[in-house]
Structure 1
Amino acid sequence: MRIRIVGAGPAGLYFAALMKRHDPSHEITIHERNPRDATWGFGVVFSDRALEFLRADDEALYRYLTPHLETWPEITIVHNDTRIPIAGNGFSSIGRLELLTLLYAYVEKLGVKILFGSEVNSLDALGEADLIVGANGAFSWIRTQNEAKFGTTTDWRPNRFIWYGTTKAFDSLTLTFRATDVGVFCAHHYRYKPDRSTFLVEVEEGTWKRAGFDAMAPGDTIRYCERVFAKDLEGHTILSNNSYWRNFPAVWNERWSFDNVVLVGDALRTAHFSIGSGTRLAMEDALALFKAFRECGTSDLKAALARYQETRLPPMKKIWDAANVSIRWYERMDALVGTLTPVEFAYSYMTRTGRVDHAEVRRRDPQLAAAYEKLHPEVAAP
């Protein structure tokens, strides 16, 4: 089978590895517009549950990646100066470039060809192919050129965010919310190597405007954020990697394929970073597409692509729906920080998507549940 993949991110790389490992006769080429040593952003994060899916389905890759991960057993919510650790929420992280570099080596050893610096802008430019995989991210040209065929919708959310890093290594995945005279600032931060952390800053649209970020130079923006989070950074600096303010696009496609073209990863749908599942979803897409071909065979392309959407849609949509509920929680963070006590705020965060109820909070962190029950006795079980 001649497979052309556009985008050397986790989805495209993992699908290539699965197909080539299953049948070395597949001719697989990945087109990646960036150089081998370039990436945007800093670290990526996996929940314990996300890693368990990988361990169950691909023990070899799990063992290959896990020695390179930073891990911790809890998350922390910071409500101004009050820190609330929340147990039962294990996470792991790795630098995005380090993850990609490991996957590059993994697939190339299998015989997959990766063409770096390969800027492809049309399906015709890919040449003859039995299957074309659009794995080229949230702004995929494959999707945007064929939106009617995919049934694409894009919902641009109002909050602004900027993806920074920092030289401070934080002890856990932490959500820090700080009220200022222009509004609430949230930092999503976690260690991805011993001396580096992701430090993503998010604000409501009104806060962004009142701070003057629309007219502020990049260096001044960094210094402003360093002042807001001075207590958290403790003298460490914020790092930029082509970092700029953006809105989040909530992308959805009713149809995942047409002819011999199929979407995976962020090209297929985007899930807000607040649930930490983007890389997991991308790799699960790749696994589901591979399993569809393994089940239906490579000779019946139509059946395999239909099977991919049929089997992958239900579990993926649950996470996507939860991510969209989470987006809206962050869009109310000014009001939540201003009206809730630190305990109530941490509890609201834990239950924001509706997938975690009070019983589950009590199971994960009895201390948080008990503190909340003191404030709201009505939620306590009889």
Structure 2
Amino acid sequence: MKIRILGAGPAGLYFAALMKQHNPAHDIVIYERNPRDATWGFGVVFSDRALEFLRADDEALYQYLTPHLENWPEITVSRNDVKVPIAGNGFSSIGRLELLTLLYQYVEKLGVKIQFDTEITDLKAVGEADLVVAANGAFSWVRNENEAQFGTQTDWRPNKFIWYGTTKAFNSLTLTFRETDLGVFCAHHYRYKPDMSTFLVEVTDETWRRAGFEHMSPEDTMHYCEQAFAHELEGHPIISNNSHWRNFPAIWNERWYNGNVVLLGDALRTAHFSIGSGTRLAMEDAVALFKAFQATGDDVQAALPKFQELRWPPVRKIWDAANISIRWYEEMDQRVPELAPVELAYNYMTRTGRVNHAELRRRDPALAQAYEALHPELQ
């Protein structure tokens, strides 16, 4: 097969690797608009469960990546200065650029060609191909130019977030909620290198406007966030990588392919960063698409419907949960002041309905007991 892939992110890279391993005769080229050493953001995370899925599908890649991961056995929910550790929630992290570099090397050793600094804006530019994979991110032009065919729905959510890094190395994936006179400031932060952490700041639109962020320079914005989270940062600076305020687009497509063109990763659907790793979802998309080709003998017209059939149920379930999680954060100005730290941690863990009281008791008996002490009706 002649396969052309737009976007050298985890979805496109991993699909290329799986197809090339299965049949080295496949002619696979990946087009990436950015230079080899460019990326936005800082670290990405995988839950322990996500890594077990990867290990089940690809032991070799699992063994290749794991020496480069930072690991911790719990998450932490912090309300002002009170921290509530939550057991039974192991995660691993890695720098986004480091992950991509490792995947570049992995696929190139298999014989896949990556063309960096190559901006493709017209499908005709890829030439004749049996399969075109649009793995070119949440703002995919392939999807945007064919929204009617894909049945695209885009819901821009009101909260603002900005993806920073910091030299402060945190010991776990932590959600810090700081109450201020202007509203609640939330930081999602975790270590991805021994001396670096992701530090993503999120606020409601109302808090963002009250703080005056719309009129601040990038430097003033960084300084403001450093002051808001001075207790957590302990003198460490916030670091920008073309960081700017964003709104999250909740994207869904009713039809995942159009002719021989298929959407993958964030081009296919976005899931809010609070629900888990978009990287994990992208790689699972790649596995499902690969398995669809395995099942159909590389028949493109049969494989693409098969891919949607296989992947739709788990993706829709995660996407629905992610949208519930988005709305939980959109209510944090009202929610956080009303809840004691233990109640906030419990409320956070059970917010989507995927974790009930029995499951939380299994994961972390101490947190369940602390919550039951506040709510005797559950005992």
Structure 2 match to 1:230: 230
Give the structure 2 partner of residue 358 of structure 1: 357
- TM-score w.r.t. the length of structure 2 is 0.99
CA distance in 2, matches of 1:368, 1:305: 45
Q: Which amino acid aligns with 1:257?
A: Y
Letter aligned with residue 22 of structure 1: H
Structure 1: distance between partners of 2:305 and 2:177: 43
Q: Is the 8 A contact 2:44 2:277 kept in 1?
A: no
**Match for residue 53 of structure 2?**
53
Deviation at 1:126, TM superposition (A): 1.1
Distance 1:377 1:136 in 2: 51
Listed as ranges, the matches of 1:86-125 within 5 Å are 86-125=86-125
Residues 158-203 of structure 1, C-alpha deviation per residue, up to 9 Å, x if partnerless? 0000000000000000000001111100000000000000000000
For this pair of structures, how many residues does the alignment match?
379
Q: CA deviation at 1:129?
A: 0.6
- Give the Cα–Cα distance (whole angstroms) in 2 for the partners of residues 235 and 138 of structure 1: 35
User: Residue in 1 aligned with 2:25?
Assistant: 25
CA distance, structure 2, for counterparts of residue 191 and residue 164 of structure 1: 12
Deviation by residue 1:11-45 (Cα, 9 ceiling, x = unmatched): 00000000001000000000000000000000000
Aligned runs of 1:339-358 on 2, under 5 Å? 339-358=338-357
> How much has 1:277 moved relative to structure 2?
2.5
- Equivalent position of 2:311 in the other structure: 312
User: Within 2, Cα distance between the matches of 1:140 and 1:279?
Assistant: 16
Distance of 1:65 and 1:243 partners within structure 2: 27
Q: Which residue of 2 aligns with 1:156?
A: 156
Instruction: Give per-residue Cα distances to partners, 1:287-342, cap 9 Å, x unaligned.
Output: 000000011012x2111000000011111111111111100100011111111111
Percent of paired sites with the same residue: 77
3-state SS of 1:241 partner: coil
SS at match of 1:273: coil
Secondary structure, counterpart of 1:370 in structure 2: helix
Cα RMSD between the aligned structures? 0.5
Amino acid of the structure 2 residue aligned with 1:294: Q
Contact 2:14 2:286 in 1 (8 A): yes
Counterpart of 1:275 in 2: which secondary structure? coil
Task: Report the equivalent of 1:145.
Answer: 145
1:230-379 equivalences in 2 (<5 Å): 230-298=230-298, 300-379=299-378
1:39 alignment partner AA: T
Once residues 194 and 177 of structure 1 are traced to their aligned partners in structure 2, the CA distance between those partners, rounded to angstroms, is 24
Residue 140 of structure 1 and its aligned partner are, at CA, apart by: 0.4
Counterpart residue identity of residue 314, structure 2: P
Partner of 2:187: 187
Q: How far did 1:122 drift?
A: 1.0
| 4+ aligned runs moved over 6 Å, structure 1 | none
Secondary structure of the equivalent of 2:274? Answer: helix
- Unpaired runs of at least 5, structure 1: none
Q: Secondary structure at the match of 1:274?
A: coil
* Separation in structure 1 between the aligned mates of residue 250 and residue 170 of structure 2, nearest angstrom: 29
Residue in structure 1 matched with residue 207 of structure 2 by the alignment: 207
Structure 1 letter corresponding to 2:348? Y
> Over residues 226-253 of structure 1, what are the superposed CA-to-partner deviations in whole Å (9 max), with x where a residue is unaligned?
0000000000000000000000000000
Q: Distance in 1 between matches of 2:236 and 2:277?
A: 28
- Which sections of structure 2, spanning at least 5 residues, go unmatched? none
Amino acid in structure 1 at the alignment position of 2:123: L
